[in-house]
A and B are shown apart, each in its own frame.
Chain A
Amino acid sequence: MLIQVLNGIAYGGLLYLLAVGLVLIFGLREIVNFAHGALFMLGSYIGFSIAAVFNFWLGLAGSLVAMTVIGIFLDAAVLRPLRKHDHMVTVLVTFGILLVLEAFATAVWGKSFRSMSAPDLLSGTVQIAGEPFPVYRLFVIGVSLCVAAGLTAWLRFSRVGLYVRASSVDPTTTAILGVDTDRLSLIVVGLGTGLAGLSGVVAAPLMALSPTMGNYILIESFIVVVVGGLGSFSGALAAALLIGQIHNFGAIYLPWASTMLPFLLMVGVLIWRPTGFAGKRT
């Protein structure tokens, strides 16, 4: 039982890592970034390539840095010039970026599946409640909790964090009060994309790498964002952990409905609280 709960937390943690990047970008730019799954995929491949030459840890760090740079570029070159247009235009452009990145990955890494193993330090199992549990899943839980704690501290206690929160609530007023929202946006989109890269490498030892790998997990991340309340960080964490448990116990007790349950949860939450768990924004 405890093992199953931990399994749910590990998968929820992975979903959170991916979803929180979406939340960051949505909060500031108010767009749903369809390219997020492709950025996750790209991060995964970058980590894979670095790890093949050096090691897993450099792959993790390298992907985080490379994807942050790509995120900053994405904001400066694509999202900022488009901000005066209807949000729908930007959403469509992010969909285009998704297609371009998939084609790029196919050209560079090929269509064949790749797999990446966990570093020696994290392979193997530990005994929890008399049952073996993979060390790597504990690592996934650890990373997601660290990211959650780090983000919360940053948003609560730093000046930039204050600006980000203010800008998420009302970008216009925040800008009038003298906050450079463009610079803020660079930081936030960079960070969000960097986290997509990080989650890509964290996910790599769990799932096959392929140019379309992002599509399979992005849907569940969207559900996390919607259930948590668009643009809410703590809501996303709660929603991710809940969906992790639903996924896990659904597969055991309601296998015939397991793929439906996250969607049913989303429909239920939207009826009960149309703004999601956090629900302060409309």
Chain B
Amino acid sequence: MYVTMINRLRTGAAIAATAALFVGGHTAHAAETLKIGVPTDLSGTYADLGNQVIRAVEFAVDEANAGGNSVEYKSLDTEANPENARRQSEKLIRDGYPIILGLIASGEGLAIAPMMERWGGLYVSTINKADGLTGEACEARVFRVNTQSAMDALTIKPWLDERKEKKWAVVAVDIAWGQGSSAAFATTAESAGKEMVGQFFIPPNTNDFAPYIQQVKDSGAEGIWVVLAGRDAINFAQQAKQFGLMDSVTVAGQSFTTDNTVKALGDVAKGIYGIINYSSTLDTPENKAFVEAWRKKYDSDPTNFEGETYVGMQVLLEAVQRAGSNDPEAVAKAMSGGEFDTIMGKLKIRAEDHQLLSPNYFGVVEEQDGVLRPVITMTATPDQVAPPVTCKM
């Protein structure tokens, strides 16, 4: 409805650029600024996620500039709508921000993926889950550093194998993400010997979940897989709790009980299982240093989406360094098949489909050191969750 625009220019970078003009090209590399376009949801269902994306991008940009690089970003609002995502991404690229990062909904990523070559851009997915983005809809100029639904499904397989609930249902948002995740879950559940008793798709931005909750209860499901995020996740969890659904069935989800959603929901979220793609509690020296620096800047722990977005920025900045150029084509070349140092370890981007092979986690919401948060109970290595390659580039 109305587009919020944040355009932050580091004063330091501006001064450096002006200084470079005066010394007449002695510091040629400093003059060329890396420009990143961040189309994301700033006012829709996933506005809270968009806010996290911006914080992580800002953190990484400031860090890079403090290290002597020249990086800037510009953000535009998409309201998580694929049509807006296409328009805003094209605008950003036209305005000279050819590297795109930060779209939330899978449908948005899928909408811009086929355009990247024509627009002369490069897209790095940090949140899009739909398998197709690096599967049948894969593109030379599209990379994914976050886990796709197939990887999340492989992660829950050992857990599902052990669960005694036989009948499962899916409650998913009716967009590309929800449909893809629902299909991936159904395949995994059936391979684990479970019976699917219903797949309920709910339009994004639903206020009243009562008719859907009632149908889940009537389906006789003993366990549910929830594919809702942001505002939808909170509305569903609160209303399902009031109906007694949360206490009568086993609940697990993808991007459902994320750090911020758990914070907003409080005790309602307790005991819900879920995929954890990143946690600030990861015990690696790189992650500890990152969390330390993050706390200094924002006075809070980085959330899952902030961590994932930061991984994307790390990969991107390292690829730019290796390419020795900001040109999207050169950066894409450096990314494809490359190995990158991230807060989640040294990770590889597969050349075949441009999917980053990362570890993945599973856990449950419980209290840890007096704070209610998603706590990791199972870790999967990159090899264990590497999805099959279906891309033909």
Contacts and interface: CB of A to CB of B under 8 A. Distances in A.
B211 A251 contact: yes
Given A4-B214, A134-B242, A115 B234 contact: yes
Interface stretch (A182-190, A212-220, A272-280): A212-220
Interface stretch (B263-271, B274-282, B376-384): B263-271
Interface string B35-76: 000000001100110010000000000000000000000000
Interface stretch (A62-70, A81-89, A106-114, A162-170): A106-114
A251 B202 CA distance: 8
A111 B242 CA distance: 25
A99 B243 CA distance: 35
B242 A208 contact: no
Interface residues of B, number: 35
A34 B55 CA distance: 31
A111 B207 contact: no
A247 interface: yes
A258 interface: yes
A113 B233 CA distance: 11
B212 A251 contact: yes
Interface residues of A, number: 42
B191 interface: no
A137 interface: yes
B230 interface: yes
Contacts of B202: 251
B48 A132 contact: no
Interface in A243-258: 247-249, 251-252, 255, 258
A11 B210 contact: yes
B267 to A, nearest CB: 8
A161 interface: no
B284 interface: no
B266 A117 contact: yes
A131 B378 CA distance: 37
A56 interface: no
B259 to A, nearest CB: 10
Contacts of B157: none
A114 B264 contact: yes
B47 A137 contact: no
Given A134-B243, A206-B235, A258 B203 contact: yes
Nearest to A260: B203
Given A134-B243, A206-B208, A217-B207, A113 B238 contact: no
B242 A210 contact: no
- 10 A-B pairs with the lowest CB-CB distances in the bound complex, closest first: A208-B234, A251-B211, A134-B242, A7-B210, A11-B208, A113-B264, A111-B51, A248-B211, A208-B231, A207-B235
Given A11-B207, A208-B234, 10 more contacts: A3-B214, A7-B214, A10-B210, A205-B242, A206-B207, A207-B235, A248-B211, A251-B212, A252-B211, A258-B203
12 contacts: A14-B208, A113-B234, A113-B261, A113-B264, A115-B234, A117-B268, A206-B208, A206-B239, A207-B238, A216-B231, A217-B207, A255-B201
